[in-house]
Amino acid sequence: MKILILTGAGVSAESGLGTFRDKGGVWTRYDLSEVATPEGFARDPQKVIDFYNMRRANARGAQPNAAHLALARLQSEYTRGEVTLVTQNVDSLHEAAGSDALHMHGAHGVARCAACDARWPAPLVMSLNDQCPDCGRPETRPDVVWFGEVPHHLPRIAGHLRTADLFVAIGTSGTVYPAAGFVAEARARGARTVEINLEPSQVAGQFDEVILGPATETVPAWVARVLRER
C-alpha cells in the first residue's frame, strides 16, 4: 500500500513551535509580506534574515513529539518508499524522529545563493554578508520557499499523488496552495483521504475521514490502527 502523508505546523505545535494562523500565530504577529516574500526580501533583506534567524532560534532545542515519532515508526514498518512524508514545515523534527521528509517549503538548516542557486548548510546565524562557497558572491538567502515562489519537489510530489492509495493531511489549515489542493488530486486518483487536525481545516469537507484532536494523541492512535489493519 502506498501512503502519502502531508504535515503542517500543527504536527510541531506540541513541540512548542508556534503555528501560523491559529490564535496568536506567527502571521498574527508578523506581516508575511515583509518577512516571507521575495518583494519583502528585496525591500529590506535584513528584516527577512532577522525573522529567519529568530524562527530558527525559537526552534532550537525543540524535540520531536509523539506524532513525529509515530510517523517515523510508520515509515519504518513499511518497505522503503511505501510511506512518503511531505512536510510544509521548515523545522527538522521529522528527521529528528527518524523520518525521511520532503520539505516542500524548504528547511531552516539550508542556505542558498540567490545568484548561482548553490545550497549549503546554513550557519547558526545567517548574515547577509555570508559569501557563497561556490561563486563567492554575498547573495545569501534562506532556502525557505516564500509566498509567490514555487515550492520544492513538486514533480516528485505529483508522482506520489498519482500512485497513493491513502492520502493523510496532518496539522495543516488547508489554506496555502498547492498543498491545500493535494487532497482533491489524491481523491481524483482514487485514494482514500484522511485529515488529522485539531479542528477542521478549510478543506476538511474533501476528506473521507476527519479525525480531530491534538496530534500527539490522534497520530499515534491512527498509526496503531493502520498497522493493526495492515
AA identity, residue 146: W
Cβ proximity to ligand APR: between 30 and 78 the closer is 30
215 forms part of the interface with ligand APR (CB under 6 A): yes
Q: Is 17 annotated as a binding residue?
A: yes
Cβ proximity to ligand APR: between 19 and 84 the closer is 19
> Pick from 4, 5, 6, 10: which binds ligand APR (CB under 6 A)?
10
> Pick from 105, 108, 112, 141: which binds ligand APR (CB under 6 A)?
105
Nearest to 165 by CA among 194, 191, 193: 191
DSSP secondary structure letter of residue 176: S
Residues in contact with ligand APR, counted by CB under 6 A, come to a total of: 23
65 forms part of the interface with ligand APR (CB under 6 A): no
Q: Is 199 annotated as a binding residue?
A: yes
128 forms part of the interface with ligand APR (CB under 6 A): no
Cβ proximity to ligand APR: between 22 and 165 the closer is 22
User: In the complex, what is the shortest distance from the CB of residue 51 to ligand APR, in angstroms, rounded to a whole number?
Assistant: 12
CA separation (Å) from 175 to 1, 142, 202? 28, 23, 6
- List, in sequence order, the alpha helices (H) in the chain: 26-29, 32-35, 38-43, 45-59, 66-77, 93-97, 154-163, 182-188, 215-229
Beta-bridge mates of residue 140? 113
Question: What x/- string results for residues 146 through 175 when contact with ligand APR is judged by CB under 6 A?
Answer: -------------------------xxx-x
Q: 103 CB contacts (<8 Å, ≥6 apart)?
A: 87, 89, 90, 152, 153
Q: Is 90 annotated as a binding residue?
A: yes
Task: Tell me the catalytic residues.
Answer: 105
Alpha carbons 209 and 13: distance in angstroms, whole number? 22
25 forms part of the interface with ligand APR (CB under 6 A): yes
Alpha carbons 45 and 39: distance in angstroms, whole number? 9
Q: Is 120 annotated as a binding residue?
A: no
64 forms part of the interface with ligand APR (CB under 6 A): no
Alpha carbons 213 and 211: distance in angstroms, whole number? 7
142 forms part of the interface with ligand APR (CB under 6 A): no
Alpha carbons 65 and 13: distance in angstroms, whole number? 9
Q: Is 111 annotated as a binding residue?
A: no
**Residues shown for the chain:** 230
Cβ proximity to ligand APR: between 122 and 180 the closer is 180
Residue ranges for the known binding site for substrate are 52, 55
Which residues sit at the interface with ligand APR, rule CB under 6 A? 8-10, 13-14, 19-22, 25, 88, 105, 171-173, 175-176, 197-199, 201, 214-215
